[in-house]
Amino acid sequence: MSEKTGYVVVFGCKRCGKCKNICPVDAIYEENELSKIDTEKCTLCMKCIDECTNRAIIYME
């Protein structure tokens, strides 16, 4: 299995809040009520992507 070398981004957040407490390393934060990802903290576990039913959180290579 290859190592992930990309990053997770939020694009089109609908402010549902489902991702708010899902991140095990607290890499998700809110700015103007929109979810954002702290790429320095993110470990690419992908839990937020699985949780986002709006498909606003995506993995970019």
Could you give the number of structural domains in the chain? 1
> Sorting pLDDT into bands at 50, 70 and 90, what band is 1?
very low
Pairing mode, strands 57-60 and 7-10: antiparallel
Average pLDDT of every residue of the chain: 92
Q: Is residue 56 part of a domain?
A: yes
C-alpha 40/C-alpha 37 separation (Å) is 9
Give the residue numbers spanning the domain of 51: 7-60
Structure tokens at 9: 């981004």
Q: Is residue 38 part of a domain?
A: yes
Q: How many residues does the chain have?
A: 61
- Residues 51/19, Cβ–Cβ less than 8 Å: yes
pTM for the whole thing?
0.83
C-alpha 6/C-alpha 18 separation (Å) is 23
Q: What is the pLDDT of residues 16-41, one digit of tens each?
A: 999 989 999 999 999 999 999 999 99
Task: Specify the CATH number for the domain of residue 42.
Answer: 3.30.70.20
CB atoms within 10 A of CB 57: 24
